Amino acid sequence: MRRLLDPNLIGSPEELREIFLSAEENPFIRYRRLFHSYWTARSAGLSDSDYQAMVRRLDEAIAGVEGKGMRETPFQAVASLGEEVGLAPPGAPWIKDETGNVAGSHKARHLVGVMLWLEVARRSAIESGAGWIQPRLSIASCGNAALAAAVVAKAAEQPLDVFVPPDADAAVLELLGQYGARITSCPREETEGEGDPCYRRFREAVAEGALPFTCQGSENGLTIEGGETLVWEMVSVLLQQDQSLDHLVVQVGGGALASSCIQAFREAWTMGLVERLPRIHTVQTEGAFPLRRAWDRLAGRILRRCGENGAGILDDTGRLAAAEWIHRRAPDEIVTQELCYAATHRSEFMWPWEEEPKSLALGILDDETYDWLAVVEGMLTTGGVPVVTSESVLQKANDLARSKTDLEVDPTGSAGLAGARELGRLGALGAKDRVAVLFTGVSR
């Protein structure tokens, strides 16, 4: 599911720049005119000031739970990591640091976006006389997403069910309990079907009437909007400094973060705020890489349709060459047709990882990349590639991230740096390219 954004409704080119260059620190206030919930609220009779007041009330409640509300997070070049990703001095990767965000990761962005929509829906239902029955919220997660959901749900005084694996972090489980979440541990059973048992329990709860309060765009498309604020903040900084990006490297589990980044950059380009789209690259681990498997199959089909050797995608070098050929030479019509085929034949491209995923980057060990189609499309249309890293590369990247910055980022959070180092090793990054990496979660 993808929303359609009308820049003319939001404002003139000058007004759009004013939005992105605003000094407002709360992204859900600054970029409010880009939210579906905002325009729904306005059509229901709420004024702009009413909507802002609603956002600020939720933000104050979140701060009451967490000690801080939603604020813009840092995005800046880190010179000490330049040579580590193959950039020539004084080149440096730009780091978007989410370790200091609410609940210690980017996940709260997604869920605040959903909660704002719920508040608009609740108010509209009550004011229309239809009444409102509060649904239980539900999420499947091994850590950061569950914690963010619990913080936002407690702030909004709404009930939450969390489905977690038996080996979920004890500190996270303790916090979930303190925030009032109802926790269900979901062990893997040999007699059960394929895929993540937490996700299956979550789907069962939704089928019984729970509302998907989740960071999976395939379950709740509204979660993508909140995630877009991360890139909108990046675009604001780029505008301030009159800069642009050549590459964005995003770690992928379920895929909502990458999907949000792709959509946000695409919309920023449509609005004339960036002169070009960066190449979007993704990172998964050797423990489970269903996204690369899907990319390989779809890219192979496109190459064969174009009369090229679709069997040439056998290694990282072949993928880089295939990505460049498709980006520069494949007819748009063929790419669109193959994307449509993939959308209607999902099981040929995306299915659960056959073995239980294992990695030190726990947060990207989803059995499936649920938002896979949007992410594969984003890579194909920008010339990006799916990178798979080893455990040693992930560990080295985390060691570098922690030793060369003052950030307590965890291995999942620094996986994007691992991917950037692999891309640099493969020669995919120009020595003077501007590369962005996301540090998505704090070490606990």
pLDDT digit string (tens) for 319-377? 999 999 999 999 999 999 999 999 999 999 999 999 888 999 999 999 999 999 999 99
* Shared-domain flag, residues 191 and 319: no
Q: How many domains does the chain have?
A: 2
Structure confidence at residue 253 (pLDDT): 95
* Shared-domain flag, residues 255 and 305: yes
pLDDT at 287 over 90: yes
Name the pLDDT band for 378 (thresholds 50, 70, 90): very high
* Shared-domain flag, residues 273 and 418: yes
**b/e string for 381-410 if b means 16 or more Cβ within 10 A?**
bbbbbbbbbebebbbbbbebbbeebebbbb
Q: Where are the alpha helices (DSSP H) in 1-143?
A: 7-10, 13-20, 27-30, 36-43, 48-66, 107-128
* Shared-domain flag, residues 54 and 84: no
* Shared-domain flag, residues 388 and 264: yes
Residue 196 lies in a domain: yes
Name the pLDDT band for 3 (thresholds 50, 70, 90): confident
* Shared-domain flag, residues 183 and 252: no
pLDDT at 191 over 60: no
The shares of helix, strand and coil residues in the chain, as percent rounded to the nearest 5, are 50, 10, 35
* Shared-domain flag, residues 36 and 127: yes
Residue 82 lies in a domain: yes
Amino acid letter, 314: L
* Shared-domain flag, residues 84 and 60: no
Structure confidence at residue 2 (pLDDT): 74
pLDDT at 223 over 80: yes
* Shared-domain flag, residues 64 and 89: no
* Shared-domain flag, residues 195 and 247: no
Tokens representing residue 259 in the block: 């999907």
Domain residue limits at 125: 12-70+105-212
pLDDT at 192 over 60: no
* Shared-domain flag, residues 198 and 85: no
Residue 230 lies in a domain: no
Give residue-wise pLDDT tens across range 27-51.
Answer: 999 999 999 999 999 999 999 999 9
Residue 288 lies in a domain: yes
d(CA 373, CA 358): 24
Per DSSP bridges, beta strands 160-164 and 182-185 are parallel
pLDDT at 312 over 70: no
33: domain CATH number is 3.40.50.1100
Q: Is 42 helix (H, G, I), strand (E, B) or coil?
A: helix
Name the pLDDT band for 1 (thresholds 50, 70, 90): low
* Shared-domain flag, residues 94 and 199: no
Residue 60 lies in a domain: yes
Residue 282 lies in a domain: yes
Give residue-wise pLDDT tens across range 40-94.
Answer: 999 999 999 999 999 999 999 999 999 999 999 999 999 999 999 999 988 999 9
- The 8-class DSSP code of residue 405 comes to S
List, in sequence order, every residue forming a beta bridge with 128; answer none if it has no partner: none
